[in-house]
Structure 1
Amino acid sequence: MIVAVRCEGEGTVKVSVSSVHVSFPQKCLPGEVSTTYNQVAVSGADRGGTVAVEAPSRVRWSLTVGRGAPAQEEPPGTG
């Protein structure tokens, strides 16, 4: 399972995927857009589930969740 979080603004985004018991915080900074990709090998990712996001109103965020075969990491400078 892959969970990508993009955010901007001072605060912490808390992401939880309860169906596979995965949760993590993402620290966000004012004036800086950051993206973090979290790839987790878990059983049960093929089932349906719910993603919950908790964040202060001053933080702008977006989230992408995917499942399937793990992607291979690209070497720097190929993107």
Structure 2
Amino acid sequence: MGLALIAVSLLIGLGAAGTAIGFGLLGGKLLEGSARQPEMAPMLQGKMFLIAGLLDAVPMIGVGIGMYVLFVVVPTLAA
């Protein structure tokens, strides 16, 4: 039971940390691309928001799996 709780916390925490790193890299590349070609900034910004939406799904899926493990799997292990 204790290992399942550690697994859930790692799943949620590492998913959030990976997403934060991804958003940092994505924002940096957007600024870099906009500085090189300012006329492409609106197109790059639109693509950045699309990728940000997809990137934001990663921790949401991790939280969903973590909640499943926490509320479905762990109580069956304790019984």
Q: TM above 0.5, one fold? A: no
- Which is helix-richer, 1 or 2? 2
- Which is strand-richer, 1 or 2? 1
Greater length-normalized contact order (CA 8 Å, ≥ 6 residues apart): 2
Report the TM-score when normalising by structure 2: 0.18
Report the TM-score when normalising by structure 1: 0.18
Structure number with larger C-alpha Rg: 2
